[in-house]
Amino acid sequence: MLPVKSHSGEIMDPEVSVLLHCAHWQGLLRSQVQVELSERFNRQTDLALERHIDEVWMKRVSKEPWLFNRAKFRLHSFCLADLQNPPSTPLSHGTIFHHTEDQNSQGQRHLGDIHNRCISQIKKCYTCYKDYLGTNWSCGVAKLRQRGEAEFGDPLTLLAQPLGVGGILCTSNGQVVMIRTQKVAEAGGLLDISGGHPERDMNKEDSVNIPLSSLGPPDLMGVALNHTSAGGPSAEFYVR
């Protein structure tokens, strides 16, 4: 994984790494992102794991009664495709794809051509917040990863891996909007960018409490992994 670094090369947050970054494509537009939703991408499970998830959930709700369970979208994998060349190998959570300077040796014109042709194809299924807390945030998550690798060849196959979203909201006067929320299951009371875990009927207005008419189209900057939650993925956007 790539640690998040500053322009000087210093590591900014050792708990976060980059799965995908789209900086060299100047971000991806909504029209350049396709989603395949299928039960084929469900996490693996068994009765013992489901009982464990139930136990974790009951303990969390008893301590944090404001928690509630909702359906989320599980990130299975994605691939980047050139419209002139069909996609080849899907990229899982363990694969990093980014554009390098060598790939851009033909200059800015070539970069523009790539941006116009590039498509991100995301493979997802449904999961839920209860499963997320019972797997990614379980005290036994290390064993779940080991078991997933040993039995299925994928350390994440037993984890919920709900796809989060984060939005860097830049105002017309050049400021960035930050939020602080207390009653949440993760990072309570800490400064954060707007976002959360999207649901079936949620749009970007629901996450940021700003009228949709005041928001510009979001640019997908990439996908980050939060290793505090065992590599939970989050798609990061830039919104003007």
Sequence length of the chain is: 240
| Per-residue pLDDT, 51 | 98
| Per-residue pLDDT, 89 | 46
Q: From the DSSP assignment, how many helices (H) and strands (E) are in the chain? A: 5, 11
By the 8 A CB rule, do 74 and 124 touch?
Answer: yes
Measured over the CA atoms of residue 20, residue 208, residue 6 and residue 106, the dihedral's sign is: positive
Give the best-scoring range by mean pLDDT among 43-57, 80-94, 160-174, 197-211: 43-57
Residue 225 to residues 114, 180, 236, Cα–Cα distance (Å): 25, 21, 10
pLDDT confidence of 172, banded at 50, 70, 90? confident
| Per-residue pLDDT, 94 | 41
- pTM, entire model: 0.75
Q: pLDDT > 70: what percent of the chain? A: 72
| Per-residue pLDDT, 178 | 84
108 or 138, greater pLDDT: 138
The residue written with tokens 């629901």 in the block is 206
For the ranges 113-122, 148-157, 168-177, which has the lowest average pLDDT?
A: 113-122
Distance of CA 45 to the CA centre of its chain: 22
pLDDT confidence of 141, banded at 50, 70, 90? very high
Give the best-scoring range by mean pLDDT among 133-142, 164-173, 186-195: 133-142
φ, ψ of residue 169 to 5 degrees: the values are -90, 115
The residue written with tokens 């009371």 in the block is 189
Measured over the CA atoms of residue 206, residue 223, residue 75 and residue 68, the dihedral's sign is: negative
Strands of the chain, DSSP E? 2-5, 11-21, 33-37, 71-82, 118-128, 164-169, 179-180, 191-192, 194-196, 219-226, 232-239
For the ranges 62-76, 81-95, 114-128, 217-231, which has the lowest average pLDDT?
A: 81-95
Token pair belonging to 217 = 């189209």
For the ranges 6-10, 94-98, 233-237, which has the lowest average pLDDT?
A: 94-98
> What residues pair up with 232 in beta bridges, in sequence order?
226
Amino acid, res. 102: D
pLDDT confidence of 209, banded at 50, 70, 90? low
pLDDT confidence of 130, banded at 50, 70, 90? very high
Instruction: Give me the chain's average pLDDT, please.
Output: 78
